[in-house]
Structure 1
Amino acid sequence: MSHPQPESLVDLHGRSPWSILPPLCLGFFMIMLDTTIVNVAVPKLMEELDADVTAVGWVNSAYLLTFAVLLLVTGRLGDKFGPRPVFVSGLVLFTLASLACGLAGTVELLIIARAVQGVGGALMTPQTMSMITRVFPPMKRGAAMGVWGAVAGVATITGPVLGGLLVPIGWEWIFFVNIPVGIVALVFALRNLPRLPTSDRTFDLVGVGLSVVGMFLFVFGLQEGSTYDWGTIRGPITVWGVMAAGVALLVAFGFWQRHLGDDALMPLRLFHYRNFTLSNVAGWSVTFAMTGIFFPFTIFLQVALGMTPLQSALVGLGGSLLSGIVAPFAGRLSDKVPGKWIVATGFGILVLVVWALAELVAPDVAVWKLVLTMCFFGIGTGCLFSPLANLATSGLDHRNAGAGAGAFNTNRQIGGVIGSAAVVALFTSRLGIEIPAEAATAAQSLPEAARTPFLEAFSHIDPSALAGGGAEAFPKPDGVPDDVWAQVQTAAADAIHAGLSTAVGQTLLLTVGVLALGLVSALVMSSVRPHHHGAPDPTAVATTTAGH
């Protein structure tokens, strides 16, 4: 006999559960926006703050590090103190930090403000998923996650586009834009977010220390490895030593969590639920892939095709809009059919799309082909975010909803960090091979007297430096007459653009492999029917774990 589903799992004093979405989605939108909006402002920041590439790189790294290492902790904070106060605290902190970012007069102050912004983002993110899981009944949860996923899809491209519009006015405005959004979100949060039951247990301070320090060391090693050529940082401290120390602490964290059982920061029995574990693998894969696609692809658009930052962002605009349209439908569909099939469809589309991009990238490619391909990319991502979040959290009880959301978001974020490090390492190594090879080919078109100086000049240039510009980054070789210099510049530009395009295509193939891992993870998930999703139960991790 079927039982009617409640309008909400908690008392909202007559309001619809949909009333909680505006503040949650506005807060999440700001978080996603600030992961991408800074990229287009890098040259302007270097110029106006008198900073080098490494310093400006930390403007993003500081945000990424604090955001990634704190997600697990902040998820558990929501379980202990309630999602509402933790979300509101994060929202206030994020908004104030955005103001501080815009007012920063030096790159050092900007880095500190961005780190604080990351703390605010980490406080908010797990609470968005946790509150949706706990407020919406199972049969409406997928549709709510669909709206949440649409925000992710739209924000991925809004950042670069909005950044391209605001940077000419002043780089400060890429941060000031958060302030009115944060104020509106705060009004909605104080008015609409309910106070939910909390779990009265001892907070795992040892687990906090092990996880935060361990993840910081590991992420720092990945982020900064290339800065130190994967060698010595200072004295006896090496990049690999830092990463090994991080891994050792994370292993110790795992053993400590096993010892604490249900009182752990991340109860390991969360991973007894098959779909939770596989959703984490799939979430890691898709975030790795997002990094693996956009980093080399954006360089290709701006360098090989000569686009402005705004023009390069517009290439993906159609895909982002389609992602925002598809995501709610995918979320709603996951209430009617097993979510694994929607996720598998999304991964299947992305495997084909990224493979097609790898084949298309060339200096003479028609831009409309890239725009069309990115439209299909948007459809694929639209099928992923909402059903994956639903699959990861729908089987968790109220005591572990925050911990589960924290673990899922942590794995997603770490996927982006590893993706960034792996893609940069592969991309730069392929540049070092492909650009000289193309230079050797281009040299054949030059007068014989210019060939040797041309090739010698290429042999003394770091190919990764050429990825930031065209022929103007190529110095005039000694002994080349002025009347031959224009021909040499053309040959240099051809070599740089062709070598860069080949390196980008090869790097994208790594992303294809990671997306294939996500596809396999989705296919081996359990086909749990949507109406079997257990409502949060204070005595069980999930009502659907038996047999999985």
Structure 2
Amino acid sequence: MTDAAPPPQPVGPGGAPHHHRPGDGRRGRRRPEELPDGGLRAQSPQGRAVLLVLVLGSGMAFLDGTVVNVALPSIGADLGADVAGLQLTVTAYLLTLSSLILLGGSLGDRYGRRRVLLVGAVWFALASLGCALAPDVPTLVAARALQGVGGALLTPGGLAVLQASFAREDRARAIGTWSGLTGVAGAAGPLLGGWLVAWDWRAVFLLNLPLAAAVVVLGLRHVPESRSPERAPSLDVPGALTSAVGLGGVTYALVAGPDGGWGAGSVVAGVVGAAGLVAFVLRERSARHPVVPPALFRSRVFTVVNAGTFAVYAALGGVMLLLVLQLQVSLGWSALAAGAATAPSTLLMLLLSGRSGAAATRTGPRLPLVVGPLVGGAGVLWLSGVGPGDVYPVDVLPGVLLLGSGLVVTVAPLTATVLAAAPDALSGTASGVNNAVARSAGLVAVAALPAVAGLTGDAYADPSLLTPAFRTAMLVCAGLLAAGALLALVGVPRGRPDDEVLGR
């Protein structure tokens, strides 16, 4: 609250006052721009409506990261695409999303988090329409790149609105619900994609139009606006450009390098990306109003938990890629059946993530951030034994359940702790950093794990070669999860997520 002289004004996140229009209070109704003292409660009607908007918005971005994979064969047959064209269809989205997600967070802090979220939803819908109407591969790739721009606005914007809008004591529960439901959106991609592709692959993209319309309509009605009261007078354009070049270049190199034999193009992209990241760090240390204030990383917890995020999401990206491949190639399952194999994990997140966030509020984040990755690692170790002739109930399901249980315990406290370690004024930026770390981790895993495990060329199509490589990769993923638990054990102090010890 501020110390403004009477009559008192409603106060928004960050202490920014809101102003009534004449007659606003005549029927006791609260405008979306206004927050009750202390913020929204998770169980209130407006709190639930805000959560719905944020889940729908972020869910679109998560869903499109997985649902398109199932549609690739149909896209290739319809548009006459070769393997390179299909790969670009996937990577164009990831490139723009990962390279611009830091900028998306800082734009929300400066210009309004709800505004950036809604702009991202409209942008994503228009780009999705472009994908659905694409007459050829180059048009589809360009539209996918534009989709990534919209995703870069949607993803950090949703978490920043959540952090700024909800009462402190309800944030962990709200983040748990958000993370569980958006995780469900990503995990449901293969199932939903298989169903839609049976009708027409273009329906995969048309699905985003009604979702985006719901985000805009409900967002305008229910989501309060917030921005950083300490926002800079101008945007750090050099910082934004160097971060985009750095993340984009490194991402392209990691995706294209292994498949292309590290040719000149991928090497140059990697060098330019690395130089861009170095320039970004130097720029942020000297800029008066940086995109990512270095002060964020003065918090040991913020730094350690982001490192843990990288380890956990790298492991998750590797498991989700190679488990589905192993089930199809070595066990002979259909794509739909392989995608459905992880459904119990998704169901656990749907049912229990909100409770996990609330429990972490009582116990502090250290315990779940240690126990969760270890439980998930045990599940990955179980899955490492999956091979030809195995059956789902005995050989696959127990590992999936352990992995899902570990994610339930880990994901919500991980996100809540990162945001709690940053000032509310920088919640959008902190969310952008954490999302960039998670996305980069998945990309590194997808690019590096097959080569580390000895899976090169067309070896993935031979069960006798894929199975030992899969087992090696799962051991690496289990080790990454153990590393995430170790980081939390030594780097996260005991205490509640919003205690002074976490960086406030």
Cα gap change, 1:138 to 1:175, in 2 (>3 Å): same
State which of 500, 512, 521 in structure 1 corresponds to 2:487. 521
- Matched to 2:387, the amino acid is A
Cα gap change, 1:306 to 1:392, in 2 (>3 Å): same
Q: Deviations over 1:391-419 (max 9, x none)?
A: 00113223311111111111111111111
Q: Equivalent residues in 2 for 1:263-342 (5 A)?
A: 263-342=289-368
What CA distance in whole angstroms lies between the structure 1 residues aligned with 2:60 and 2:413? 22
- Matched to 2:130, the amino acid is A
Q: Is 1:420 matched with 2:386?
A: no
Q: Is 1:363 matched with 2:382?
A: no
1:153 CA drift (Å): 2.7
Cα gap change, 1:346 to 1:241, in 2 (>3 Å): same
Aligned residues of 2:245 and 2:272 also touching (Cα < 8 A): no
Q: Which residue of 2 aligns with 1:456?
A: none
Q: Which residue of 2 aligns with 1:467?
A: 460
Cα gap change, 1:306 to 1:242, in 2 (>3 Å): same
State which of 216, 233, 237 in structure 2 corresponds to 1:201. 233
Q: Is 1:258 matched with 2:279?
A: no
Aligned residues of 1:146 and 1:387 also touching (Cα < 8 A): yes
What CA distance in whole angstroms lies between the structure 2 residues aligned with 1:355 and 1:398? 39
1:113 CA drift (Å): 0.9
Q: Which residue of 2 aligns with 1:545?
A: 503
Q: Which residue of 1 aligns with 2:35?
A: 12
Unaligned 5+ segments in structure 2 are 1-9, 16-33
- Matched to 1:334, the amino acid is A
SS at structure 2 position matched to 1:310: helix
State which of 353, 359, 366 in structure 1 corresponds to 2:379. 353
What CA distance in whole angstroms lies between the structure 2 residues aligned with 1:213 and 1:331? 35
1:156 CA drift (Å): 2.8
Aligned residues of 1:28 and 1:151 also touching (Cα < 8 A): no
Q: Which residue of 2 aligns with 1:103?
A: 133
What CA distance in whole angstroms lies between the structure 2 residues aligned with 1:499 and 1:531? 46
Q: Equivalent residues in 2 for 1:98-497 (5 A)?
A: 98-198=128-228, 199-233=231-265, 239-260=266-287, 263-358=289-384, 360-368=385-393, 369-427=395-453, 430-431=454-455, 464-468=457-461, 496-497=462-463
Q: Is 1:77 matched with 2:112?
A: no
- Matched to 1:367, the amino acid is Y
- Matched to 2:331, the amino acid is L
1:191 CA drift (Å): 0.6
Aligned residues of 1:362 and 1:502 also touching (Cα < 8 A): no
What CA distance in whole angstroms lies between the structure 2 residues aligned with 1:204 and 1:148? 30
Q: Which residue of 2 aligns with 1:511?
A: 477
Aligned residues of 1:7 and 1:137 also touching (Cα < 8 A): no
Aligned residues of 1:288 and 1:418 also touching (Cα < 8 A): yes
What CA distance in whole angstroms lies between the structure 1 residues aligned with 2:298 and 2:154? 26
Aligned residues of 2:421 and 2:502 also touching (Cα < 8 A): yes
Q: Which residue of 2 aligns with 1:487?
A: none
Q: Deviations over 1:358-387 (max 9, x none)?
A: 1x2211222222022112211111122211
SS at structure 2 position matched to 1:399: helix
Q: Deviations over 1:106-148 (max 9, x none)?
A: 1111111111111001001111111111111221110010111
SS at structure 2 position matched to 1:384: helix
SS at structure 2 position matched to 1:38: helix
1:16 CA drift (Å): 4.2
SS at structure 2 position matched to 1:289: helix
Q: Which residue of 2 aligns with 1:485?
A: none
Q: Which moved more, 1:149-158 or 1:77-86?
A: 149-158
SS at structure 2 position matched to 1:195: coil
- Matched to 2:444, the amino acid is I
Aligned residues of 1:138 and 1:530 also touching (Cα < 8 A): no
What CA distance in whole angstroms lies between the structure 1 residues aligned with 2:322 and 2:49? 40
Aligned residues of 2:417 and 2:497 also touching (Cα < 8 A): no
SS at structure 1 position matched to 2:90: helix
SS at structure 1 position matched to 2:333: coil
Aligned residues of 1:320 and 1:375 also touching (Cα < 8 A): no
Q: Deviations over 1:1-31 (max 9, x none)?
A: xxxxx99957336974443211111111111
- Matched to 2:286, the amino acid is H
What CA distance in whole angstroms lies between the structure 1 residues aligned with 2:242 and 2:88? 24
Aligned residues of 2:364 and 2:497 also touching (Cα < 8 A): no
1:83 CA drift (Å): 0.2
What CA distance in whole angstroms lies between the structure 2 residues aligned with 1:528 and 1:127? 29
What CA distance in whole angstroms lies between the structure 1 residues aligned with 2:455 and 2:153? 39
Cα gap change, 1:532 to 1:179, in 2 (>3 Å): closer
- Matched to 1:361, the amino acid is V
Q: Which residue of 1 aligns with 2:5?
A: none
Aligned residues of 1:18 and 1:144 also touching (Cα < 8 A): no
Cα gap change, 1:232 to 1:197, in 2 (>3 Å): closer
Aligned residues of 1:153 and 1:382 also touching (Cα < 8 A): no
What CA distance in whole angstroms lies between the structure 1 residues aligned with 2:233 and 2:78? 49
Q: Which moved more, 1:17-26 or 1:404-413?
A: 17-26
Q: Which residue of 2 aligns with 1:89?
A: 119
What CA distance in whole angstroms lies between the structure 2 residues aligned with 1:280 and 1:424? 24
- Matched to 1:173, the amino acid is A
Say what the alpha-carbon RMSD is for the aligned residues: 2.1
Cα gap change, 1:525 to 1:324, in 2 (>3 Å): farther
Cα gap change, 1:319 to 1:544, in 2 (>3 Å): closer
Instruction: With the length of structure 2 as denominator, give the TM-score of the two structures.
Output: 0.88
- Matched to 1:516, the amino acid is A
Cα gap change, 1:421 to 1:152, in 2 (>3 Å): same
Cα gap change, 1:531 to 1:156, in 2 (>3 Å): closer
Aligned residues of 1:8 and 1:136 also touching (Cα < 8 A): no
Aligned residues of 1:361 and 1:502 also touching (Cα < 8 A): no
Q: Which moved more, 1:110-119 or 1:18-27?
A: 18-27
Q: Deviations over 1:39-62 (max 9, x none)?
A: 112221111111111110111100
SS at structure 1 position matched to 2:363: coil
What CA distance in whole angstroms lies between the structure 2 residues aligned with 1:23 and 1:292? 30
- Matched to 1:58, the amino acid is L
Aligned residues of 2:120 and 2:151 also touching (Cα < 8 A): yes
Aligned residues of 2:383 and 2:396 also touching (Cα < 8 A): yes
- Larger of the two Rg values belongs to structure: 1
What CA distance in whole angstroms lies between the structure 2 residues aligned with 1:197 and 1:54? 42
Aligned residues of 2:109 and 2:427 also touching (Cα < 8 A): yes
Cα gap change, 1:373 to 1:531, in 2 (>3 Å): closer
